[in-house]
Structure formats: C-alpha cells, structure tokens
Amino acid sequence: MPTLGERIVEHLTTNGASLDDNELAEAMGVGRPAIAESCRQLEAQGLVIRNMAGGTRTVPGLPATPRPPEQVAVEPVAVEPVAVEPVAVEPTFPDHARRILSARWGTTLQRRQAVLPGGVAQTFELASGNGRIVGDVVWLADRGRTVEAKSAAIAEAVLIVGHVTNADRRFLVFGDAFDVLSRWLGSYRLLLDGVEVWFLDGDRLERLA
C-alpha cells in the first residue's frame, strides 16, 4: 500500500500543478497537518518544491514514485562511536524580526507573497496569513557603502511596501545604520504615506515613524 508521501507525489505528477495543503488534504482525504508534515519530508528528500505562497509541486524530471535503492550486501565493520557536538544555528535578522514582531502583534508573520498594483506578486519577509499585515526587513549594510546608496535603498523599500494592496498595516524593520535612517526620516518623513518604520536592536524594538 503506498505511503501518504508516495500518494502526494503521484497526485502532483498526475495533475501537473502546484497545489496548496488544503487542496492536497481534500484530495488525499486526510488532515492538513499530516499533509504539511509529509510535504516537508518530501521537500527534504528533494522530491517536491514548496513555495512561499503555500503551493507544493514536484521536481521536474523525477518519477512519480521514487525507486528504493538497491540492496547491497556489506560486511559489517566495527566502528567506534564518536561524540558529535550539536551545532548551534544562529537565527538571521529576518528570523529574529519575525519572532519579535509576531509576539508584539499576536499573529504569525512569515515570508509570504503580497500583491502590488497591476497584480504583481512580491515576496515580503513579514506578512500575516490573511495579508492584512505586510512588512519587510532592510539591512542597509547589504545595500551599498555610501550614504547615497543606503538612502536610495530606504526610499525603494518604502515605495514598494507602501503600494501593497489590501493591507491594513504596512511597515519596515531596520537593524543597522541608525544614523543614516534617522537623517533620511528627518528629510523625507512625509513620503512614508502611512508606512511604519521600526528599528530592532537585539530584543529592543523602537518605532521611529
């Protein structure tokens, strides 16, 4: 009897489409949590791709049902166990911002797509599931060395998030170059047009505009 993962891969291959967890749950006749867990396992095995919009599709060129590896007889070899220290993975600034802002507003903010005028989909780091809260993180150290380049990056981020349709709250979170950001706000605060500006330093979150 095929496993749930094999059924999901076969269904996606047969339909040739990207389906979200609710659609797969209805097709498989199981609960959405089971679908989500199976899809995560399939993605880890390289059998499907899950995008930010919540869709799951198969990897092109793969068979519908993965073939099990050939069984090869191997002589047992005695190996002494080696203690391996766990590696701590430090969260990225977007990960940290998601945790802090989600706790502040009592919702779950994740990396999701939101719609801009003209139906253009844009990925934002901090978006609620219903699309009513949409924000992004801006790390100015990655946006150029000069003050002019950083100021242009601020203006671009404000322009993009400010045009998200159907959102009640639009915001940006910065984590560096506080002086550059403060000078920009001193000159161009009126251009924000309702976009909130926050600065996150460690666990200290401050609203600047």
Question: Which tens digits make up the pLDDT trace of 125-145?
Answer: 999 999 999 999 998 988 888
Same domain, 159 and 115: yes
Decide if 88 is inside a domain: no
Here the CATH number for the domain that contains residue 182 is 3.40.1350
Q: How many domains in the chain?
A: 2
pLDDT confidence band for 179 (50 / 70 / 90): very high
Q: What share of the chain is helix, strand, coil (3-state, %, to 5)?
A: 40, 20, 40
- Look at residue 99 and give its three-state secondary structure: helix
Q: Does the pLDDT of residue 20 top 70, yes or no?
A: yes
What confidence category does residue 208 fall into, taking pLDDT thresholds of 50, 70 and 90?
very high
Question: Does a structural domain hold residue 136?
Answer: yes
> Would 86 be classed as within a structural domain?
no
Domain, as residue range, for 162: 93-207
User: Cα-flanking dihedrals φ and ψ of residue 35, to 5°?
Assistant: -65, -45
- Does residue 117 sit in the same domain as residue 166? yes
For the chain, the average pLDDT equals 83
Q: Which of 50-54, 76-80, 190-194 has the highest mean pLDDT?
A: 190-194
Residue 154 and residue 200 in one domain: yes
Whole-prediction pTM: 0.57
Strand order in the sheet with 196-201: 110-116, 120-127, 133-138, 169-174, 196-201, 204-207
CA atoms lying within 13 Å on the CB side of residue 164? 28
Q: The CATH number of the domain where 31 resides is what?
A: 1.10.10.10
